Amino acid sequence: MFLYLSKLLPLFFYPLGLACLCLLVALFMLWKRPRTATLAIVLAVILLLSSSNGWVSCLLVQSLEWQNLPSAEIPTAEAIVVLGGATKSALPPRPTVDLNEAGDRVIYAAQLYRQKKAPIIILSGGRIDWNGGGPSEAGDMANILTSIGIPKEAIVQEPDSLNTYQNAVNVKKILNSRGIRRVLLVTSAIHMPRSLLIFKHLGIDVIPTPTDFLISQSELQELSSTPKAALLNILPDVDNLHRFTSALKEYVGILAYRLRGWL
């Protein structure tokens, strides 16, 4: 039930879904209560404009991503844990497994392994049955890693997790069974704060090793580098809306997990 509710939350909390609700209210109220309809339209416009400009989206994303900036020298550990959400299964017409924008997680894990930061890679992620089916995300990530030369014996799959909390719980079982105490946690920088809180709450000694940064120092500087840039970043942009929604999703997730006692 929680999984279904977590997929319905965007309709009520995220800008696009909330703006659509406002417009639907305006549509039904247009003839009987035009003042209410006008207010709903104004609210929808404000929501979309405020969440799709560069200033707001960049700063909101930065507030998450820059909490765990990588150190100059990554320490060694007993395992590298990679969270799912980085692949698209090899379903037709895809000829093979694809990496999505978060695919940096898989590549970064391979780099850490080749740097001898840990002897094994634990891949955690299942596949929601209504989300296209196919193999687990752990299986997909394993296919990518073996195709770029990571040995199969260095890969451990955890294919049952459907959210971040389950990632941590199921990974902990693997760690306990193998006597592993210290791990490098690899996930997208925007997802790291929530992931880190969950893993630490479960008593796992975890070192954050974020990747897939959406906001860099140069991108922040570009916001106000020139008057033209400052103006252009106020204008609505679909990429900004997506980044704002991704960051808001993490904050909503942190709140929801706290209410459930998972953090």
pLDDT of residue 70: 86
CA dist 70 and 28 (Å) reads 51
- What is the b/e burial string over 210-243, where b = at least 16 CB atoms within 10 angstroms of the residue's CB? bbbbbbeeeebebbeeeeeeeeebeeeeeebbbb
CATH number of the domain at 74-208, please? 3.40.50.620
Would you say how long the chain is, in residues?
263
pLDDT tens-place string over residues 66-84: 999 988 899 999 999 999 9
Helix axes 238-259, 54-65, angle to 10 degrees: 40
Question: Could you tell me the two tokens for 208?
Answer: 């954050």
Classified as helix, coil or strand, 208 is strand
pLDDT band at 2 (very low <50, low <70, confident <90, very high): low
Does a cis peptide bond (omega within 30 degrees of 0) precede residue 93? Answer: yes
pLDDT tens-place string over residues 100-142: 999 999 999 999 999 999 999 999 999 876 555 568 999 999 9
Burial grade of 197 (CB within 10 A; 0-12, 13-18, 19 or more): middle
Q: For tokens 């809180």, name the residue.
A: 197
CA dist 193 and 186 (Å) reads 12
pLDDT tens-place string over residues 163-190: 999 999 999 999 999 999 999 999 999 9
Sequence spans of domains, the chain: 74-208
Residues 74, 184 contacting (CB under 8 angstroms):
yes
63 has a pLDDT exceeding 90? yes
- What's the pTM value of the predicted model, to 2 decimals? 0.90
CA dist 241 and 58 (Å) reads 10
30 or 229, higher pLDDT: 30
250 has a pLDDT exceeding 80? yes
